[in-house]
């Protein structure tokens, strides 16, 4: 082993499928993941499973085989990317009301009838001039990377989408092509859009991760935000950097949380810029409100004894 970092596969997966006893299923998953020394996050609900796990290659392979041996998950799709043992610090398995929280009411269930494969997606955006791409991820995610010409949503979290949708009314008659990281959010967002009167809605099957496995950076700009310590993943070939330091505008894809704990918003801050000005550890809004790195409220490290 060199450099102390071993490349471990990270798997990202979900499936909307009824799980009658989520607590019992979560307990069984906890046993399996612990035995295989996997780390990451699993959310389990009566509507299905949503997971990201990292581990040694053989353990990850065994996990996938065990999961697919369960007839409910025999066809579950896996998106695989490169990680390290440090991609996640621990294993967290939770039972939740939803596998991705939209909180739009029980009438919004996942849509399965309007998926476009990555190849269909690419063909459509190349050939149909009347489409509009809608990025249904959080705003900080789309600052790291997005499809060319995509409409981005100014939301901090997915459950802000139902309220935000009023601002997309002008797209109601358009052919809307929506995407997210792995597809899980689109299945609900699609149902929400249609429920609100959008007639012509399509979603990218398998999300950005599956698209980039096949088409790399074609029609894609920047990096793809991920919810683990890597913060972003990218395809290096023909990469177009679009993300910028929130303070200085220099190209950077380094995400940090705003120093002020009451804010904690994710922002992109260039490392050199922060080294020169410690106040840049605050987000622009907190900085503009007059806070400094001295007056921000955060847990300071214990003084060394």
Q: What positions carry a catalytic annotation?
A: 180
Task: Please state the closest distance from residue 110 (CB atom) to Zn ion, in A.
Answer: 34
Residue among 210, 239, 207 nearest 223 (CA): 239
Task: Please state the closest distance from residue 262 (CB atom) to Zn ion, in A.
Answer: 8
Q: By CB under 5 A, which span of 30-38, 124-132, 220-228, 277-285 interacts with Zn ion?
A: 277-285
Task: Please state the closest distance from residue 240 (CB atom) to Zn ion, in A.
Answer: 28
Any contact of residue 11 with Zn ion (CB under 5 A)? Answer: no
Q: Which listed residue (8, 258, 268, 269) binds Zn ion by CB under 5 A?
A: 258
Q: Is the separation of the CB atoms in 257 and 264 below 8 Å?
A: yes
Site string for Zn ion, 152-191 (x = CB under 5 A): ----------------------------------------
Select 233 or 286, whichever has its Cβ closest to Zn ion. 286
Any contact of residue 134 with Zn ion (CB under 5 A)? Answer: no
Q: Which listed residue (180, 245, 253, 283) binds Zn ion by CB under 5 A?
A: 283
Give the total of residues touching Zn ion (CB under 5 A): 6
Q: 195: which residues sit within 8 A by CB, 6+ positions away?
A: 104, 107, 108
Q: By CB under 5 A, which span of 15-23, 30-38, 99-107, 276-284 interacts with Zn ion?
A: 276-284
Cα(221)–Cα(93) distance, integer angstroms: 33
Cα(126)–Cα(228) distance, integer angstroms: 32
Task: Please state the closest distance from residue 270 (CB atom) to Zn ion, in A.
Answer: 17
Query: Angle at which helices 57-69 and 22-35 pack, to 10 degrees?
Result: 150
Cα(60)–Cα(264) distance, integer angstroms: 33
Any contact of residue 263 with Zn ion (CB under 5 A)? Answer: yes
Task: Please state the closest distance from residue 294 (CB atom) to Zn ion, in A.
Answer: 15
Residue among 281, 258, 249 nearest 143 (CA): 249
Select 256 or 286, whichever has its Cβ closest to Zn ion. 286
Q: By CB under 5 A, which span of 25-33, 146-154, 157-165, 254-262 interacts with Zn ion?
A: 254-262
Q: By CB under 5 A, which span of 21-29, 90-98, 163-171, 264-272 interacts with Zn ion?
A: 264-272
Task: Please state the closest distance from residue 254 (CB atom) to Zn ion, in A.
Answer: 16
Select 90 or 300, whichever has its Cβ closest to Zn ion. 300
Q: By CB under 5 A, which span of 58-66, 90-98, 234-242, 259-267 interacts with Zn ion?
A: 259-267
Select 146 or 260, whichever has its Cβ closest to Zn ion. 260
Site string for Zn ion, 286-305 (x = CB under 5 A): x-------------------
Provide the binding-site residues for Zn ion, judged by CB under 5 A. Answer: 258, 260, 263, 265, 283, 286
């Amino acid at each position: 082993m060199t450099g102390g970092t071993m490349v471990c596969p990270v798997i990202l997966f979900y499936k909307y499928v009824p799980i009658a006893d989520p607590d019992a299923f979560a307990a069984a998953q906890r046993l399996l993941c612990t035995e295989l020394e996997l780390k990451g996050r699993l959310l389990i609900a009566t509507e299905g499973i949503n997971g990201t796990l990292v581990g040694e290659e053989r353990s990850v392979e065994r996990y996938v085989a065990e999961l697919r041996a369960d007839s409910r998950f025999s066809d579950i799709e896996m998106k695989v990317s490169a990680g390290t043992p440090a991609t996640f610090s621990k294993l967290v398995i939770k039972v939740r009301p939803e596998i991705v929280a939209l909180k739009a009411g029980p009438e919004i269930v996942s849509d399965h009838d309007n998926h476009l494969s990555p190849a269909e997606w690419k063909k459509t955006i190349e050939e149909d001039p009347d489409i509009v791409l809608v990025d249904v991820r959080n705003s900080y995610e789309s600052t790291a990377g997005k499809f060319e010409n995509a409409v981005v949503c100014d939301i901090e979290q997915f459950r802000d989408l139902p309220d935000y949708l009023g601002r997309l009314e002008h797209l109601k008659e358009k052919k809307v092509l929506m995407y997210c990281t792995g597809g899980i959010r689109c299945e609900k967002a699609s149902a929400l859009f249609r429920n609100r009167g959008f007639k012509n809605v399509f979603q990218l099957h398998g999300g950005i991760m599956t698209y980039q496995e096949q088409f790399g950076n074609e029609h894609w700009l920047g990096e793809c935000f991920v919810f683990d310590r890597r913060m972003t993943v990218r395809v290096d070939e023909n990469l177009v950097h679009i993300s910028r330091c929130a303070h200085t505008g220099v190209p950077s894809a380094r995400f940090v949380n705003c120093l002020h704990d009451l804010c904690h918003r994710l922002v992109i801050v260039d490392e050199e810029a922060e080294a020169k000005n410690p106040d840049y550890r605050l987000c622009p809004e907190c900085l503009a409100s007059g806070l400094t790195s001295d007056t921000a409220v955060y847990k300071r490290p214990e003084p060394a004894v």
